[in-house]
Amino acid sequence: MILNASGCLDARATPEVARQLDAFVTKTVTLLPREGNASVRIAETDVGMLNSIGLANPGIDRFCETLPPLRKELAIPIWVSVGGFCADDYAKLCTTLDGCDEVEAIELNVSCPNVAAPAEATEEIVKAARHATSKPLYAKLSPAVPDMSALALSAARAGADGLSLVNTARGLALDARTLRPVLSTESGGLSGPALRPIALAAVHACFAATRLPIVAMGGIETGRHALEFIAAGACACALGTILFADPNAPARVRTELAAEAGQHGFETPLAAFGAGHGQRAAQSARFVA
């Protein structure tokens, strides 16, 4: 299963790219409209990309008006990413989306590095969201914590149906001429190749701890990368930064993934699921619905 990472694909501008996916993940939406951070909000580095968008979005009411035509145009499932500043924000967002037939699943963005951290802990946010909706909930976690397994277990205890791993890590880029930070917020979220080993370690650890379905993201650029994440415990992969350079990446990665699996003796890519943990561990897990 191949998705996009939230915020890395404008499905309205490029629906032909979105249709290559098994599901489309929206940009994070909040209760009220947000303009986001001031420019400069994106910077390239030699190991990936920095962004500091700041959750710019039209707010949940306007957003919901756009869902029916978007779902009709794409003809694939839609996952909605939501963000807030307290557990009640997430609960209200999930209550609103619970009545939207166009929404397949909800991703709880509890780890954006470019806005103030939520006031409540991950467990409280997930619990509030769980009470507000019957739709599948995926908790998107930050790699910038001492113990990813403990964080994942907290989300599982609170009722998360799955995990999205990982969000960006904080990074900094300096202007070559002035030696001042390029981004208006100074630091921002680092995505791309540099994030891949960190994300792979998070998937491996969190799968071992929870056996929850995991959507992996973080520097996935090829079928080989995707196969490694599946072996580590992911049952779906999301493409992010690569979509800016290669809009046809979903179709390419899907073809490469099948070829890589075959070269390793697997009939299908998902036959490699959990291989990094041994057969018994893999058989005890659940898949994305």
The order of strands in the sheet holding 169-172 is 42-45, 48-51, 187-191, 169-172
Q: What is the spatial order of strands in the sheet that 2-4 belongs to?
A: 2-4, 236-239, 214-216, 162-165, 137-141, 103-109, 78-82, 24-25
Q: Are the CB atoms for 172 and 181 separated by under 8 Å? A: yes
How far is the C-alpha of 278 from the C-alpha of 260, rounded, in Å? Answer: 19
- In the residue annotation, 112 being an active-site residue is answered as yes
Amino acid at 95: T
Query: Is the distance from CB of 169 to CB of 189 less than 8 angstroms?
Result: yes
**Beta strands in 145-251, from DSSP E residues, in sequence order:** 162-165, 169-172, 187-191, 214-216, 236-239
Contact between 6 and 239 under an 8 Å Cβ cutoff? The reply is no
Instruction: Say if strands 48-51 and 42-45 run parallel, antiparallel, or are unpaired.
Output: antiparallel
Q: Which of 16, 12, 8 is nearest to 251 (CA)?
A: 16
The Cα–Cα gap between 126 and 108 comes to 8
Residues 6 or more apart in contact with residue 97 via CB below 8 angstroms: 60, 64, 80, 82, 103, 106, 133, 135
Side chain identity, residue 156:
A
- Residue 75 has φ and ψ, to the nearest 5°, of 60, 30
Catalytic residue among 112, 206, 235, 237: 112
Which residues are annotated as catalytic?
A: 112
